Every structure is written in structure tokens, then in C-alpha cells.
Chain A
Amino acid sequence: MAESTTTRRSVLGWGGAGLALGAAAAGGAVAMARSGDDVAPAAEPGAAVAFHGAHQAGIATAVQDRLHFAAFDVKTADREEFVQLLKDWTRAAARMTAGHAVGEGAYGGLAEAPPDDTGEALGLRPSRLTLTIGFGPSLFDKFGLADRRPEALVDLPKFPGDNLDKGRSGGDLCVQACADDPQVAVHAIRNLARIGFGKVAVRWSQLGFGKTSSTTPDAQTPRNMMGFKDGTRNISGTDAAALDRHVWVGPKDGTDWMTGGSYLVARRIRMNIETWDRTSLQEQEDVFGRDKGEGAPVGRAKERDEPFLKAMKPDAHVRLAHPDTNGGATILRRGYSFTDGTDGLGRLDAGLFFLAYQRDVRKGFIPVQRSLSRSDALNEYIQHVGSAVFAVPPGVRDKDDWWGRGLFTGKA
């Protein structure tokens, strides 16, 4: 994998200031907007993020505003048919991320037949849509792939306090759609699901808003539904060294087809919003180990000041989640808040849809969550209700390449 492509990818998705760089480096990253003939540079909000590259977009890419995440079950036993679906999906994803309609479009075709594209993204810009595919552990039991399952793709252990709903957990594969416009993200999942009927079926899906962590550390850290800044120390999307160390699977990691890929953990974390809101400010700040206004760690002045862990309560969230508490375990977080209305008891069905990318789940999420699930003071106010883990293959290199080619052909 070319090193330069890594850089290109990380620059490409950049959303903030100083982005003229992105357009220059991107080359082919300028895309036609959905409205027709106006050309938008990649640097502009609403522009297209390049689909092809050494890594899949949607991991190190600057976090977009909205999410539609879907997990699928495979329904076919025919390997050829499934491979064809992956190719069809790749083609559709390349079109949609560039701001184009699927197939022959949403109108103008035969009057008696439904159009290829569902049409709700017509006239909208690409909105930095990224589509990222992942393969769940259960996929490897199918199509004779058991011996290709990466060792790092472990089934997550049972953590204390987990109350997992099977209907919101697992899946043979997943697609993460991130975009600045929710309609663009939903359109993408809807059309992929439609192409997939008969071959795959949606198992569960989650909408997200209000990104809860950013991969742009110079920007202000967004707040979660509890009103706190969480994820201040996230891996930066431009820190190639940190990405190589903690996020991208390396050539010596033992599974050739995964080189340049990553492992994704998704957790639906429900928050007990009403009881949290009745909690004193002091307790809230103790629970996180940060102050609520600035987001500074206990005893410090600024959000980005180095946390002094020993000043925090032993069960403070930041203290328990910190790499220093977990033997250096570091993950790239891309979570979103969710609010799915109310739950029938009148409680806000809200929380954090946690998404974390790492080079090895055994060295990333698992040690951190072991530490948190045992002792985190936050556990009184949250519950993990959904869980899934996926192997996220490397990027689609060019227009002849397709999602999962390495896994299915044995060629990296």
C-alpha cells in the first residue's frame, strides 16, 4: 500500500480551515454535485470525499455531522451471488459518494417500473458522504471463509452490566454511512438495502446526530447527550503515525487481506437521561473527571491540558478510559448521539452510539471496556444495549476493485 495514499485520504476528508490543500492533493476528488453541472472542490463543506484509496473513507475522515449505520444478515448461501452483491454495492457506493444517483437514476425510465434510485437525494450535494463496509465474525462461518477469519476479530467477552438486545447486536456485515446531510446518509443505506434484498437483509440500524468525538483535535470537542465533552484525546485524522500504530492493520499483523483495514466496535449505549439530569453538578463532574463548562480535566484549566489522573476519583470515567490506565490501549472514536424518541415510559430513548476503530480489538476496545465496565462511575447512568464487532477491509483501490476482494479472492 502506497504511503502517499494514506496521506491523501486523511487530507481529503478534511472539513475545517486551511483546506485548499485538500483540493490540490486530491486530484480526482472534485465531483459533480447532485444538482447537475456545478463543480465543488473537495474542501468545501458538502463536497465529495474520494471513495478510492488505500484505506476506506469514513475512518480517519473528519467526522461528518450525521450517521446511518446498518448491520445486515446474509441470506444467500451462494458465494458467487454474494460476491456479485459486493461488486454491485461497491459500484453504487462509488456513485453515491460522488453525488450521483444509483443505476439509471430516479426518473425518466419506464413509467410502469420503479426507478433504480429512490430519489430523495436528488438536488442535494454529496455532503461528504462516506460509506464504510465491515465484516462480522458470523460471516466467516459462511462461504467456507472460516480459515480466513483474522485472529484479531474476536467475539467480544461479556462485560458486567451489559444488557444486550439481540435485535440490536451482531450482523454478518455492516455499512457505516456518514454525511453532513442526514437525508444523504439515509438515502445511501436505503439504496444499498434495496440492492441487497434477497442476498442480505437489514438486521438492525441506527441513526446518529451530533458527532460525539472528532478526529480534528484543533476543533472544539463536541458534547455528548450528558452535556460533557468526551473524546478530547481522540486520535487525529492527520496523525499518520498514530493511525499506523493504533488504527490501520499492518502487513505484519498476520492477515494479508486486512492490511490497510481496521477493526470496528459498535455499541449502543443507552443513557438514563432523566436521572442524570437530577444529579448534582459536583457529582456529574466527578463522574467524568472533567468540568462541565470548559471540559478541563480535574485540577487543570483548559480542555486540552494533560489530565492528572491521580487527582480524579478512582472511578472517574476519564481516568478509567485513559491509555495510561489500560496499558496504552488507544482507539479512534467516531461515535454519534442518538435519540430515538421516547421509550413508552416517557423516558428519552437516547444515548451514545459508540463507534471505535482499532488495529486489534484485543488491544483496543476490550481492555478499555473491561476497566470501565467494572468500575466506571458513569455505569449508574448508562447501559450497553447493543453490540457488534466487524473487520473493516482496506480501501477500494480503483474502479476495478471491490469491497472485500482480498477476502474472497485471497489476493491482497
Chain B
Amino acid sequence: MRPARVPVVTAVVAAAALTAVTGCTEKSDAKGGGANSVSVTASDDKCEVSKKELSAGHVELAIENKGSKVTEVYLLFPDDRIVSERENIGPGTKQKLTAEVKAGSYEIACKPGMKGDGIRQKVTVTGGGKTAKRDPRLDKAVAEYRAYAQAQADQTLPATKTFTDAVRKGDLDAAKKAYATSRIGWERTEPVAESFGDIDPKVDVREDGLEEGQDLEKDWTGWHRLERALWKDKKIGKREKALATQLDKDLLDWQKRVGKAVITPTSMANGAKELLDEVATGKVTGEEERYSHTDLVDFKANVEGAQKSYELLKPVAAENDPALTKELDKQFAALDKLLEKHREGGAGSYAFTSYDKVGKADRKELHDGVNALAEPLSKLAAAVAKSK
């Protein structure tokens, strides 16, 4: 939770060269179909496109679903980011999808049954402003990270439902038990969620994150509001049950939007560093989970998410700055070892010592470990950006 800062994922990208202008799906087709229109014929096992070369600018996809399943069609960047999409295309129906695109490589994906990676076709857009060519290994890293972020969101919804179901049943103990684990996927990929701006304040804001004039009872929503009810007020009322349902709904919104997040290699690198910043400012101090004291679960998840970004970028970073990746390997391992000291369950479990039982000296040691990792991690973006 970090309400006061501009989401770095977005900020970094604003400075970098964007490859697409917009992803409007409902835009009126002012320029007409003509030369830059492509027909997409979707079936249960095929995704046929009428042409594979398009001109930069306004593009229209004329879609027809000739299959038996409901389908959806995506126009994708090489790193799997969504340029534009059309959902719920019923069997036998036609739909249009429009977008403004710059020169570069793209993919059109049909997803029969609206599931999985879809059936893909590569298309090339030429003309207009040339975009800098990126190392394909970095496109791959971004695509894999996007899949990771999506998987985390996908896993978070059922985990959170276990939690919110318990709240709705008024089962205090079951809700407490499910609380921390429901947050793991979120904490692993928080910079992506924060890049949307509006979801984070709804689901992960702390009491002190509210603005003046906001009502603590009416305007405070999300995990930490429920945390307070469970651990401090020790009761579940009508309001809490309604908030549980609201949390499910807000997270569903997040799950649907992960694919549209703007992710770049440098934003991945800086996102990893940001996760460590989250640990340094919120978890090490015990501010994040002030009622449940489950800070170390978030801590672990933040580090795991940072490590995922790093591992994906490592092949390129190791070429540009081998000393840096050596240091990062060492410091990730060292921090993991430190966390291990506070794990109470078996290997792989997320049962960690309640943070109010972690003494001052141990907190200092954890903080030193975070600094030792975050400082070199802040140099990862440079090591990735060197690659052209």
C-alpha cells in the first residue's frame, strides 16, 4: 500500500517510447475500413486473418465467430500486453475491434471458450514512426512476467473467496486463518496493481491512508479494514460482510485488467526494487499489518515477486553487468535465509512468526538484509536498459 506515490510502472513507461497510442474498443470508425481493415475468422480451432501486413495508424479488425463456443479476440504487443480486445463474441455473430497502432510486431489471438493463451497469428504494422527495436529476450521476459502477474491474480481470487466466505459466514477464526494467505498473490505483484491507480486504494489502503474528509466507517474498504474488524474489534457485522463482497468485486476488476498493464523491462526491474521498498517502509516497521501482525507473510511475498522479475531479466542483465547479477543472487539468497529464521511452518509454508514477537535486533537484521538487496536491485534497470 503506497497511496501517495505515482505508480512507477506507469511513470517509467511514460518516459519510454510507447509502441501503441490507445486501445479503445468502441471508437467510431471515422476513417472507415478500407485498406487497414483485416477480417478475422474465428472458429473452435482456428483463427484466420485476411492479411498479415498493416499500415500504422487506425486499424480495424472485422471479426466473425464461426465456431460453436463464445470467443474473444485480442490484438497484442510482442510482450503480450493488450492493445485492444473484444470479449463475449457469441457463435455466429460479428463484432468490430479498432485500435491506433504504431509500427512494430503484433499478434492477433482468438480465444475460443474465452480461456487460455488462444490461437495466435503474427501481424506486422509498418510505416509511420519507427519504434526502437527491443531485444527479443526482453519481450519474452515481459510476456512471461505478464503471465506471472495474471496467474497471481487468478490465484488470489479463490484464495480471497475463502477469506470473504468466512467473513460472510461470521466465522471469525476461519477468517483470521485465511486473511494473510489471501494477500500473497497481490503482494507478489503489487507494482502492477498499483499502476492502475484506482484498485490499490480500494483493496489495500491502511487506516492512515485515508484523506481528510473521508469517513473511516464509510470510505475505508479492503483487506485492512477487515483486518481491523477481525483482530481489533473482534467482531463481524453487516458492514464487514458487505465489505467482503466489495473486496471480491474489486479484485475481479484487477484480475481482468492485469493483461492491459503497461509493463516494460525497466518497469519490471524498478517494480522489483519497489517491492523491496514496500518491505523497507511498511513491513519491517510493522505498519502494514498492525492488527494481525502477519507482516512477514507480505514480506515473503514481496521478495518472491521481486525475485520473479529479476530471474526473468537476469539473462540480459548478466550479460551487461555480471558483477551485479552475482551480487543480486547472493543477496536474494541471504535475505531468504534471514526470513527462514522466522518461518514457523514447514518448508514452503507461509506460517511466519507474528511480527509483534519479532524483537528490535531481529527487525534491524531484517532491515539490513533488505538494504543489502534493494541497493544493488536499484541498479537492475540500468543493466537492462543498456541492451538495445
Contact = CB atoms under 8 A, between A and B. Distances in A.
Interface in A85-123: 109-114
Interface stretch (A128-136, A193-201, A225-233): A193-201
Of residues A111, A194, A197, A201, which shows the largest number of chain B Cβ atoms within 10 Å of its Cβ? A197
Nearest to A111: B15
B385 A112 contact: yes
A396 B375 CA distance: 28
A198 B331 contact: yes
Interface string B319-334: 0000000010001000
B372 A198 contact: yes
A75 interface: yes
Interface residues of B, number: 21
Nearest to A193: B371
A113 to B, nearest CB: 3
A113 B371 contact: no
B58 to A, nearest CB: 31
Given A75-B368, A201-B368, A112 B381 contact: yes
B375 A197 contact: yes
A316 to B, nearest CB: 40
B382 interface: yes
B12 interface: yes
Interface in B265-298: 266, 269-270
Interface string B325-349: 0010001000000000000000000
Which secondary structure dominates chain A's binding surface?
A: loop
Contacts of A112: 12, 15, 266, 269-270, 381-382, 385
A79 to B, nearest CB: 15
A113 B385 contact: yes
Contacts of A194: 375
Interface in B347-388: 360, 364, 368, 371-376, 378-379, 381-382, 385
Contacts of A73: 368
Interface in B1-56: 12, 15
Nearest to A73: B368
A201 B284 CA distance: 15
A201 B367 CA distance: 9
Contacts of B381: 110, 112-113
A159 B296 CA distance: 41
Nearest to A199: B372
B375 A198 contact: yes
A330 B141 CA distance: 65
B373 A110 contact: no
Contacts of B376: 197-198
A110 B385 contact: yes
A201 B385 contact: no
B43 to A, nearest CB: 44
Nearest to A203: B364
Contacts of B15: 111-112
Given A110-B385, A111-B15, A197 B266 contact: no
Nearest to A113: B382
Nearest to B273: A114
Contacts of B372: 75, 197-199, 201
B357 to A, nearest CB: 20
A243 B375 CA distance: 41
A199 B374 CA distance: 13
Nearest to B360: A167
Contacts of B364: 201
A167 B361 CA distance: 9
A199 B266 CA distance: 26
Contacts of A111: 15
Interface in A163-222: 167, 194, 197-199, 201
Contact of B378 (A114, A167, A201): A114
**Interface pairs A-B: 6 shortest CB-CB:** A198-B372, A113-B382, A201-B368, A197-B375, A112-B381, A112-B266
Given A109-B382, A197-B371, A201-B372, 17 more contacts: A73-B368, A110-B385, A111-B15, A112-B12, A112-B269, A112-B381, A112-B382, A112-B385, A197-B375, A198-B327, A198-B371, A198-B372, A198-B373, A199-B372, A201-B364, A201-B368, A201-B371
Interface of B: 12, 15, 266, 269-270, 327, 331, 360, 364, 368, 371-376, 378-379, 381-382, 385
16 contacts: A73-B368, A75-B368, A109-B382, A110-B381, A110-B382, A110-B385, A112-B266, A112-B382, A112-B385, A113-B385, A114-B378, A167-B360, A197-B372, A198-B331, A198-B376, A201-B372
